[in-house]
Structure 1
Amino acid sequence: MLDKRSVELHLEEEEEIRGKHVKESFDSQYHCGPLLGSGGFGSVFSGQRLSDGLQVAIKQISSDRVQQWARLPGEVSPVPMEIVLLQRLSEVGGHGGVIRMLDWFDVEGRGFLLVLERPPHCQDLFDFITERGALPEQLALRFFRQIVEALLYMHDHGVVHRDIKDENIVVDTRTLDVKIIDFGSGAPLKETMYSEFEGTRVYSPPEWIQSQSYKAVSLTVWSLGVLLFDMVCGDIPFERDQEIIGATPIFTRRVSKECQSLIRWCLSYRPEDRPTLEEVLSHPWMEGGEVEEEGGDLQEDHSSLPSQSL
């Protein structure tokens, strides 16, 4: 028969195994506010941490919508892959260009709740471009460099995002710093081919359209080419599968030769012809910041920079 001390130790160990989410409920630590937005992988609400008033975002994921499950050390039950990937990045110190997960909960009847940092004055890049039109190359370069550096960090720590697009980048409209969000399509990084894809089709490469397979880096670099085109031209280059397979962007605005060459390199039809992330960073357009501003087709910088009132 167990004595009282043994029972207490047993209970402590059990709590330790099951993790901190057993000890304090979500509702005792956070207030969940209005809906901010929803998508294929869940809904996002504004929220507040009760202990200090910190503004957070709360992502709710229904268990029946989870595409991939994985296990965390010390957790008995599997959790959505998104939690595992964000936890992995958090444990290695995080990166300024990647949204940080502060906590997570498995709540009966509500699914999984992810508590995420919520930077002030933020707007997603899709809305940023929709409001301002095509971005001046210097501003596009500022955003793009931050995104590529954040992706390099993620890959270095074994995470591939697989859904890089303007809607998954948020811009701090005062500092012009950006962060990558929404890891719902993410996966552990591997060298071999992937045969599943939950990302956005118009950002996917020809090899996915044609053979339903791809490698992590070549997929990521193709989506970066689509994103950079989107920033400097105001819209994505391809809408239909045949256009993606054609892999020939048609520039609708005056764009410098160096910027065009980087976009075309990222959008090479053959995956092996695309650059690595390191090669993207060392491309002359990225390194020099020397941008041709010929003619009047480019918007003036001032009209495209964010308002302080946002």
Structure 2
Amino acid sequence: MLDKRTQTFRPEEGEERGKNGKEPFLSQYRCGALLGSGGFGSVFSGQRLSDGLQVAIKQIPSDRVQQWARLPGELRSVPMEIALLQRLSEGEGHSGVVRMLDWFEVEGRGFMLVMERPPQCQDLFDFITERGALPEHLARRFLRQIVEALQFTHAHAVVHRDIKDENIVVDTRTLEVRIVDFGSGALLKETPYCEFEGTRVYSPPEWVESRSYEAVPLTVWSLGVLLFDMVCGDIPFERDHEIVKATPIFTRRVSKDCRALVRWCLSYQPEDRPSLEEVLAHPWMQRAEEEEDEEEHSSLPSPSL
């Protein structure tokens, strides 16, 4: 969980210049209030001084970096997250994946990652907490965007490994979503992974039982947990024995097709889960607006009092 306190980032003196001899971080950006913090670092609101652009600034202390990587043209290693985001931010990037605008190494503070931040955004955890379970048409809209963004990341050889509501940011004006926080990410490979820095309650049975998993089945399992979370208002599993049982109990009225997709994604055997392409082709994902029932046509739920 993110620790959402209110505090201000106060850099120390003597920071290093940015990458490739750029001007120092403090001459280009101003940090504001803490938005959240976790095991790998803290995220602050920020502003680019040249044009006032609102950004998010992630601080990663060097002693918390789990994986290092080498960038072309860089002599020193950088956190894997920087390498992954640079890979995903090249060219036009993808509207469903957060874009890294810049990064710096700051003496005494570690690494500073500057990322885009919509002016009116909220992570999906808070979005659901305030509004309760989402109508299926909205959950479908969010899930489609998330899956398409994950197809983009996988096409660029990046696996996120921590898909959850806290790592999905919703633009509350447009209802467009972005995947954020690649701190648990890795380069995509076909062989199994034996390390996992994601969120336990979103992890699949094979990790709980044998501490091994493959990228796509892990991702699809997390999508099943996330879809259940969206349509029921909370995650399906809290404890390891519930995860390995792999039997979600629906706490709200959910359509037959939606339940089927959740259960398919949460298949106990990794090989029984769908691919990302099969998720998008599922009948529930293909439902046309005119086929939706009256409940799904209801307006966006208001925040609860």
TM-score (norm 2): 0.90
Question: In structure 1, what is the equivalent of residue 4 of structure 2?
Answer: none
Query: What amino acid is the match of 1:252?
Result: T
2:298 to 296, 301, 304: 301
Given that 1:85 and 1:188 are in contact with CA atoms closer than 8 Å, whether structure 2 keeps it comes out as yes
Question: In structure 1, what is the equivalent of residue 7 of structure 2?
Answer: none
Query: What amino acid is the match of 2:133?
Result: A
Question: In structure 2, what is the equivalent of residue 83 of structure 1?
Answer: 82
Deviation at 1:276, TM superposition (A): 0.3
SS class of match (1:302): coil
Deviation at 1:293, TM superposition (A): 4.0
Aligned pairs for 1:1-310 (under 5 A) are 20-289=19-288, 293=293, 301-302=298-299, 304=301
Percent sequence identity over aligned pairs = 79
Given that 1:135 and 1:299 are in contact with CA atoms closer than 8 Å, whether structure 2 keeps it comes out as no
Aligned length: 287
Given that 1:19 and 1:75 are in contact with CA atoms closer than 8 Å, whether structure 2 keeps it comes out as no
Deviation at 1:93, TM superposition (A): 2.6
Given that 1:21 and 1:104 are in contact with CA atoms closer than 8 Å, whether structure 2 keeps it comes out as no
Distance 1:232 1:117 in 2: 28
Given that 2:18 and 2:104 are in contact with CA atoms closer than 8 Å, whether structure 1 keeps it comes out as no
Deviation per CA, 1:121-157, whole angstroms, max 9, x where unpaired?
1000000001111000000000000000000010011
Distance 2:285 2:292 in 1: 13
Deviation at 1:21, TM superposition (A): 4.2
Deviation at 1:303, TM superposition (A): 5.2
Question: Which segments of 5 or more consecutive residues in structure 1 lack a partner in the other structure?
Answer: 1-17
Question: Which segments of 5 or more consecutive residues in structure 2 lack a partner in the other structure?
Answer: 1-16
Distance 1:235 1:293 in 2: 23
TM-score (norm 1): 0.89
Deviation at 1:39, TM superposition (A): 1.1
Given that 2:142 and 2:177 are in contact with CA atoms closer than 8 Å, whether structure 1 keeps it comes out as yes
Decide which structure has the larger Cα Rg and report it: 1
Distance 1:49 1:26 in 2: 10
